[in-house]
C-alpha cells in the first residue's frame, strides 16, 4: 500500500495511491489523522480497493509528512569518497544530525540553488517512517516500529558544509522527499533495495541498501537510545558514492537540471532545479 499527502482543491489531504488515482482517507474517516493512520495501517487497508476520489492530474503532491515532526539523518553511512575531500575513517557509531522544516520540497516541486553558493549537491537516501513509538528499541524488534519507507534527497550545499553540517545541510528547499510512503508490509527487507540517482537522464548513483555501514535496524536502535521515537518521525539512512562533489571534476547542480531519485519497490522522486530569486 502507498500512502501519500497531497493538495486537492487547495485543501491538504492524505490517502492511498492507486494506479488510477488517489483515495481520500479523510472523506472516509473525517477524524483520522496521519500519525494515527501510520500506527494503524490495518485499519485503513480496507479502503484500498475502493474507487479513487481524484485523478492524478487533479492533485499536487505534498511532503509525505507535511507537518514534519522530526527528520533524523545518518551521515557517512556508505563507504565512499568524502565530497569535501580528505580521508574518511569508517565511523564507529552512526553520525547523526537533524534537518529542520523548510529544507525539503515534495515530489514535482523545485529544488532551489541558493544565492549564497553554486555548490548544490544531491544525495539519494532510503528514509524510514516511524509508525510505532518506542524508546531503547532492540535491533531485533526495530523493523516492527517502521510504518513504511520513502525516498529522501539530502540536498547539500558543499562549501557551506565546511562551515558545519547544519549550515550545509539545511538550506531552504535544497532537498526533497516523496513521492509517497510504501507501507512496511509491502517491503519485506529494507536491506535488499537499490538506490539510484539520475541527473538529466545520466545515472550518477547506484548502490544496494545492503551496503550501508549501519543497517536500518541499527539506526533505529541507536537513535531510540537518544530520544523516544514517535509516529511520523523520519530517519534518513545515508547516501552512497556518486554525488556531484565526489566526481572528478566536481559537477554541481544548475538551474534547469532534472533529477530522478529512484528506490526499487518504492518509486521515483522527481525534481527540477531553479535558481533562488530575491
Contact 263, 240 (CB under 8 A): no
Best CA proximity match to 255, nearest among 276, 278, 234? 276
Q: Taking a C-beta distance cutoff of 8 angstroms, is the pair 70, 231 a contact? A: no
Overall number of domains in the chain: 2
- What value, to the nearest 5°, has the Cα angle with vertex 89 and ends 129 and 78? 35
Query: How far apart are alpha carbons 175 and 141 in whole angstroms?
Result: 30
Contact between residue 276 and residue 255 where contact means Cβ atoms under 8 Å apart: no
Residue 85 predicted with pLDDT over 70: no
As a whole number of angstroms, the distance between CA 157 and CA 276 comes to 13
Whether the predicted pLDDT of 80 surpasses 90: no
In a domain, 105, yes or no: yes
262 with 142, same domain: the answer is: yes
Mind listing the pLDDT tens digit for each residue in 208-265?
999 999 999 999 999 999 999 999 999 999 999 999 999 999 999 999 999 999 999 9
Mean pLDDT of 24-40: 92
Domain containing 93 equals 71-275
Q: Please enumerate in sequence order all residues whose Cβ is within 8 A of that of 224, keeping only pairs 6 or more positions apart, or say none.
A: 134, 135, 136, 137, 142, 145
Encode pLDDT of 156-203 as tens digits. 999 999 999 999 999 999 999 999 999 999 999 999 999 999 999 999
What's the CATH number where 170 sits?
Answer: 3.90.850.10
**Does residue 87 sit in the same domain as residue 224?**
yes
Amino acid at each position: 500500500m502507498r500512502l501519500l499527502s497531497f493538495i486537492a482543491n487547495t485543501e491538504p489531504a492524505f490517502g492511498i495511491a492507486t494506479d488510477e488515482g488517489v483515495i481520500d482517507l479523510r472523506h472516509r474517516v473525517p477524524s483520522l489523522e496521519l500519525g494515527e493512520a501510520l500506527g494503524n495501517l490495518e485499519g485503513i487497508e480496507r479502503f484500498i480497493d475502493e474507487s479513487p476520489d481524484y485523478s492524478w492530474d487533479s492533485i499536487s503532491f505534498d511532503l509525505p509528512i507535511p507537518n514534519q515532526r522530526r527528520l533524523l539523518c545518518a551521515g557517512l553511512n556508505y563507504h565512499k569518497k568524502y565530497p569535501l575531500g580528505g580521508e574518511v575513517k569508517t565511523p564507529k557509531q552512526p553520525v547523526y544530525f537533524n534537518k529542520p522544516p523548510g529544507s525539503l520540497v515534495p515530489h514535482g516541486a523545485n529544488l532551489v540553488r541558493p544565492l549564497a553558493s553554486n555548490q548544490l549537491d544531491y544525495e539519494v537516501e532510503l528514509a524510514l517512517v516511524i509508525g510505532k513509538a518506542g524508546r531503547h528499541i532492540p535491533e531485533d524488534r526495530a523493523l516492527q516500529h517502521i510504518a513504511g519507507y520513502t525516498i529522501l534527497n539530502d540536498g547539500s550545499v558543499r562549501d557551506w558544509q565546511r562551515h558545519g553540517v547544519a549550515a550545509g545541510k539545511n538550506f531552504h528547499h535544497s532537498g526533497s522527499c516523496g513521492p509517497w510512503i510504501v507501507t512496511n508490509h509491502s517491503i519485506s527487507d529494507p536491506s535488499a533495495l537499490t538506490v539510484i540517482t539520475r541527473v538529466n537522464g545520466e545515472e550518477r548513483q547506484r548502490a544496494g541498501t545492503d551496503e550501508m555501514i549501519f543497517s536500518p535496524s541499527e539506526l533505529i536502535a541507536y537513535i531510540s537510545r537518544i530520544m523516544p521515537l514517535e509516529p511520523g518521525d523520519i530517519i534518513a539512512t545515508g547516501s552512497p558514492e556518486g554525488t556531484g562533489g565526489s566526481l572528478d571534476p566536481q559537477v554541481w547542480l544548475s538551474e534547469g537540471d532534472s533529477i530522478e531519485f529512484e528506490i526499487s519497490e518504492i518509486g521515483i522522486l522527481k525534481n527540477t532545479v531553479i535558481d533562488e530569486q530575491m
